[in-house]
Amino acid sequence: MKETEVITEKPKRTKPDWLRVKLPTGKEYAQVRKLVDEHKLHTICESGNCPNMGECWGAGTATFMILGNICTRSCGFCAVATGMPSAVDWQEPSRVASSVKLMQVKHAVVTSVDRDDLKDGGSIIWVETVEAIRRESPGTTLETLIPDFMGKWENLQRIIDVKPEIVSHNLETVRRLTRQVRIQAQYDRSLEVLRRLKEGGCKTKSGVMLGLGETDEEIRETMRDLSNNNVDILTLGQYLQPTPKHLPVAEFVTPERFAEYKEFGLSLGFKYVESGPLVRSSYHAEKHLF
């Protein structure tokens, strides 16, 4: 009888205690929850199962995604579906604006998939969404978390011209890991996006995920690169693997190290640094208006 080989799986990495999330509570959260359920509104907070949803909704902040739910890129960290997106829905800006008004959002964060299939990169829908929210909810402030538009600067200029209160573009990871983590993106192109936004008079923001295999010095070098391009606000959070098909977590970074990076970031001149295991791009977004 032929001897069979026994293959043992590696034990699954267990999340540490500091990544445990409290269930959302509070009167304000409950009111928003009711509106979302009754009107079937869509937010990234909910569909992405964000750990800070209760806190953000309670503070009057919510995040919406535009330009569909299929991305033309295939980043190794992101759970959004990849493929050929549907045609642009020109009614989308109006629907998002109606959701913001119904939810009585004080500070709206808008993000999108990458639409490299479009000549304008989706920038026209971006502008129409900002303008629609301003018409429906003139008291609501805006943060736009934008793609790099493939370095087609006329598309980026549309965002600069419409002047959201904050414009964010995430660097996501250190230079060495960019090709693996972001695949179609370029580290220096993202820095140029942020530089051009600042030169255009925008308040700028960027985010970096930790725990993908970067070194301490690489993290500090990335923070210096962002500071050298005059980025105002920096967020640092723990990468969490969305599915087994995505990049694995190389390390769970301790809260103490996140605190050290916050101190280092403030010493570089960032106006705000949100740094912690559960921090995401829109965490405390309403506090970044200065």
pLDDT tens per residue across all 290 residues of the chain: 444 333 334 445 688 888 876 666 677 767 777 777 776 666 777 655 677 777 777 778 888 989 988 899 989 888 888 899 999 999 999 999 999 998 889 999 999 999 999 999 999 999 999 999 999 999 999 999 999 999 999 999 999 999 999 999 999 999 999 999 998 999 999 999 999 999 999 999 999 999 999 999 999 999 999 999 999 999 999 999 888 899 999 999 999 999 999 999 999 999 999 999 999 887 777 778 76
pTM metric for this prediction: 0.89
The pLDDT, as a whole number, for residue 60 is: 80
The domains found in the chain, sorted by start residue, are 25-288 (3.20.20.70)
| pLDDT value of residue 49 | 61
Q: State residue 109 phi and psi, 5-degree precision.
A: -105, 125
Q: Are 132 and 173 in contact (CB under 8 A)?
A: no
The total of other beta-carbon atoms located within 10 Å of residue 22's CB is: 9
Q: What is the pLDDT of residue 2?
A: 42
Q: What pLDDT shows up at residue 12?
A: 56
pLDDT of residue 10: 43
Give me the helix-helix angle, 216-228 and 255-268, nearest 10°. Answer: 30
Question: At CB < 8 A and 24+ separation, what contacts does 242-247 make?
Answer: 242/77, 242/78, 242/79, 243/79, 246/76, 246/77, 246/78, 246/79, 247/76, 247/77, 247/180, 247/181, 247/212
pLDDT value for 25: 66
Q: CA dist 257 to 93, 130, 222, 264, 270, Å?
A: 40, 37, 16, 11, 18
